[in-house]
Amino acid sequence: MFALYKKELQSYFLSPAAYVVLAFFTLTFSLTMIMGISGASANLYEFSFSSIFYSNLFYLIFTLPLLTMRSFSEERKNGTEVMLLSSPVSVTKIVLAKFLATSTIFLIMMLVVMFHPIVTAINGKIILSRLICTFIGFYLCGLVYIALGILISSFTESILLSIVLSEALILLLILVDNLSNFSLFSSAPILSDLFDWLSNQKKFYTFSRGLFRVSDLIGYITEIFVFVIWTIISVEKRRWSRR
């Protein structure tokens, strides 16, 4: 699986997609930080990296689908998926390799913007424990969206449709906690609990306060696991239909 993971990772850097996404993410993060500083008091330059990361959750809607769309949609469009599925490598390893490669790109994106907290720490003061928890929460939230994007990519060979559907469903996951406030859903305890469990914003908010709750960690991991398993089933079904 490592060879396939390495191949997938290298393919990102052979196309402009990874560079465009990295540049866009760095730009949005930097602009958010500049606006945070400019909005601080003139006498006390105080702002929270937690709020900056929180604001950038929205921009993941536009960046991550550009990475995940090539997982299977681009493969099917270019005709390379046939060779991939006919190889002796199991579908589980194929899906995991693609997920880990995309997750690595996302980690690189986050490490690049960590330049800002480092500079801030040199010239000021940061709460390290809170920053670390925020970083972990943001990364886990991104992994959920990556797993969802790869799942959508396995359904269609249309790159544009893969991007649009991924963006729509990621937006729905971000806003799902607002659905539990509607009387229609709040009156049904099961639906209200389901929406509360799916609320990635609430999980991230807990991490951003410097709190590390096992329940939130399990929630993120469960969502990732479910989306990855569905992707494996989707690709496995298509693999057998070719035989």
Torsion angle, alpha carbons of 41, 46, 52, 54, to 10: -100
Residue 54 lies in a domain: yes
- Number of neighbours of residue 91 by Cβ within 10 angstroms: 19
Amino acid identity, position 17: A
Residue 154 lies in a domain: yes
Residue 227 lies in a domain: yes
Number of domains in the chain: 1
Predicted confidence at residue 44, as pLDDT, reads: 44
DSSP per-residue letters across the chain: -HHHHHHHHHHHHTSHHHHHHHHHHHHHHHHHHHHHHHTS-SS-----HHHHHHHHTTTHHHHHHHHHTTTTHHHHHHT-HHHHHTSSS-HHHHHHHHHHHHHHHHHHHHHHHTHHHHHHHHHS---HHHHHHHHHHHHHHHHHHHHHHHHHHTT-S-HHHHHHHHHHHHHHHHHHHHHTTSHHHHTSHHHHHHHHHH-HHHHHHHHHTT---HHHHHHHHHHHHHHHHHHHHHHHHHHHHT-
- pLDDT (tens digit, 0 to 9) for every residue of the chain, 243 residues total? 778 898 888 888 888 888 999 999 999 998 888 887 766 554 444 457 788 888 888 899 999 999 998 788 877 777 777 777 777 788 899 999 999 999 999 999 999 998 888 887 787 778 888 889 999 999 999 999 999 999 999 998 888 899 999 999 988 888 776 665 555 555 656 666 666 667 788 888 889 888 888 888 998 999 999 999 999 999 888 777 655
Residue 41 lies in a domain: no
Q: Which residue has the tokens 């089933």?
A: 233
Residue 176 lies in a domain: yes
- Phi and psi at 199, nearest 5°, equal -70, 100
End-to-end CA distance of the chain: 23
Residue 217 lies in a domain: yes
Average pLDDT, the chain: 83
Residue 42 lies in a domain: no
Q: Which domain holds residue 65?
A: 2-36+47-241
Residue 25 lies in a domain: yes
